[in-house]
Amino acid sequence: MTADAVLSRELKSLQDEILASNRERLPPSPDRNAAPAGQPEDKPGKQQLHGQMHEFVNAIAEFFSDVERNVSARPAASVIGAMVVGMAIGRLLGRR
């Protein structure tokens, strides 16, 4: 199993846990846009942040999916590229 699949599974698991936690914390209301009586409405910033985090998680999962496809399509080029990047980082860190 590749690291990408493990990461994707872990991200999905975290999303499911967050959704379950939100469902337990907030009772279902007949109108999702209306706040329950006696409680202030959700701030637009909170909803926007939640949407941005969801988009970020989806972008990360898509990125790792693309990387997995590229590596499996060209394994030799991927290994050579990783070695070159590792050597460059080693040289940069070694020149202190």
Task: Look at residue 17 in the predicted model and tell me its pLDDT.
Answer: 82
Would you say 93 and 27 are in contact if contact means Cβ atoms under 8 Å apart? no
Question: What are the domain boundaries of the chain?
Answer: 3-28+42-94
- 40 versus 62: the higher-pLDDT residue is 62
Task: Look at residue 18 in the predicted model and tell me its pLDDT.
Answer: 81
**pLDDT over 90 percentage in the chain:** 34
Would you say 64 and 4 are in contact if contact means Cβ atoms under 8 Å apart? yes
CA separation for the pair 27, 32 (Å, rounded) = 10
Average pLDDT over residues 48-65: 90
- 18 versus 55: the higher-pLDDT residue is 55
Tokens of 67: 């990387």
Tokens of 19: 């959704």
CA separation for the pair 47, 55 (Å, rounded) = 12
